[in-house]
Structure 1
Amino acid sequence: MAGMELAHFRPWGDFFPGFDSFSKPDVSDLSKWNNRVISNLLYYQTNYFAAAIVVILIVGCLNPLGMFLGGAVVALVFMGSVWAGENKAVIKNFKKRNPTLFVVGVLGISYFLLSLCGGVMVFLFGITFPMLLILIHASLRLRSMKNKLENKIEGVGLKKTPMGVILDLLDQQEEKFNKIQDFLESKLKD
């Protein structure tokens, strides 16, 4: 974790400026939509973490034991799936080919395990609801020039952030690194 920095908290006017800065994603071009989501996840990560913490605290106050159990189950399933993705060839190949399905699988397994314990409502409201809000914002928010520049700095490796580490563990940034490398190589040639 050496060299990791926490991204700056983006002001409310940048995070939620107005309807002109939001647009429906182009669902016919999944890679463009994925890049928008990843860029926004990296740029607004501190805002997203703060929003998730607020929702988690609200649900945690209503059902503290259930929230602790839900968080522990999701964390253990996530760590186990990342370990399996690194050490088991079949899972590693699946994760590389289908990173989104891999994340959905982690959530599905977590949901199943929590349903055995009776923690489904905590899972839905305390864990998936904040993730859904973050995904909706990241999908709809258009990227600004500051957003693109900040993401290029992190993609080159000049800065490492918590969201970048999480996306790396989920194999969500490999394509982005290749595009950044191609971009930098083309600029160096010019």
Structure 2
Amino acid sequence: MAKVELTPVRPWDDFFPGAERFAKPDVRDLAKWNNRVVSNLLYYQTNYLALAIVVFLIVGFLNPLGMFTAMAVVSGVFLASVWAGENKAAINNFKRQNPAAFVFAVMVASYMLMSLLGSVMVFMTAITLPLALIFAHASFRLRNMKNKLENKMEGAGLKRSPMGILLEALGQQEENLQKIQTFLEGKLKE
């Protein structure tokens, strides 16, 4: 198994070029849209991390106590969901069958706890704003050949990255791995 490596920062002209490299996703083909998002999350993960840190620091500077509360709640809910997904069969089956619903449930649970603790606006700004920006970029950014090649290497297990591990924990990588496994099995039979 490959060691975990952070991907390099992609150049600004690759990350955010003109309108020719962006297109509206096909909302009728959710599998293709999901594949585009996952691919871009893996390829631009370091750029997304930098974007999230900048927004995070700005909001944290403006409201440090609310930021600490938001970080603790989101981290706790995420860790609890990963633990439950690994140790409880019913939750693991739900995560495999409905990965998007599982992620949504984690987000809703985080929001509910944040509303009880009174830091909803900090949560909405510091956590949701970077996620919304990242999701929008990953949805609209078209993939290039380097992007596709890097993702195949990650999916085949030749490279490991923090985003790949996170997506795997959320159940988003299994479909890609199954496709690669089916492809390799087909080639071996030939």
Q: TM-score, normalised by structure 2?
A: 0.95
- Count residues in correspondence: 190
User: 1:15-46: per-residue Cα shift (whole Å, max 9, x none)?
Assistant: 01110101111111110000000000000000
Alignment map for 1:121-136 (pairs within 5 Å) = 121-136=121-136
- 5+ residue gaps in structure 2? none
Distance, in Å, in 2 between the alignment partners of 1:137 and 1:122 is 22
What RMSD in Å do the two structures reach over aligned CA positions? Answer: 1.6
Distance, in Å, in 2 between the alignment partners of 1:176 and 1:21 is 24
AA paired with 1:11?
Answer: P
Distance, in Å, in 1 between the alignment partners of 2:183 and 2:90 is 32
Distance, in Å, in 2 between the alignment partners of 1:183 and 1:18 is 35
User: 1:35-67: per-residue Cα shift (whole Å, max 9, x none)?
Assistant: 000000000000001000000000000001111
2:48 equivalent in structure 1 = 48
Q: 1:35 to 1:101 in 2, by over 3 A?
A: same
2:163 equivalent in structure 1 = 163
Report the identity percentage. 66
Distance, in Å, in 1 between the alignment partners of 2:89 and 2:185 is 32
2:80 equivalent in structure 1 = 80
Are 1:59 and 2:50 matched, yes or no? no
Are 1:96 and 2:96 matched, yes or no? yes
1:154 equivalent in structure 2 = 154
Are 1:37 and 2:37 matched, yes or no? yes
Q: TM-score, normalised by structure 1?
A: 0.95
Are 1:68 and 2:68 matched, yes or no? yes
SS where residue 152 of structure 2 aligns? helix
In the TM superposition, what is the alpha-carbon distance from 1:105 to its structure 2 partner?
0.7
Are 1:5 and 2:5 matched, yes or no? yes
SS where residue 10 of structure 2 aligns? coil
AA paired with 1:63?
Answer: N
- 5+ residue gaps in structure 1? none
User: 1:110-154: per-residue Cα shift (whole Å, max 9, x none)?
Assistant: 111011111000110000110011000000000000000000111
SS where residue 121 of structure 1 aligns? helix
Distance, in Å, in 1 between the alignment partners of 2:112 and 2:175 is 31
Distance, in Å, in 1 between the alignment partners of 2:41 and 2:86 is 23
Distance, in Å, in 1 between the alignment partners of 2:186 and 2:149 is 16
In the TM superposition, what is the alpha-carbon distance from 1:182 to its structure 2 partner?
3.3
Distance, in Å, in 1 between the alignment partners of 2:96 and 2:88 is 12
In the TM superposition, what is the alpha-carbon distance from 1:184 to its structure 2 partner?
4.1
Distance, in Å, in 2 between the alignment partners of 1:134 and 1:86 is 27
1:118 equivalent in structure 2 = 118
Distance, in Å, in 2 between the alignment partners of 1:70 and 1:115 is 10
In the TM superposition, what is the alpha-carbon distance from 1:3 to its structure 2 partner?
1.3
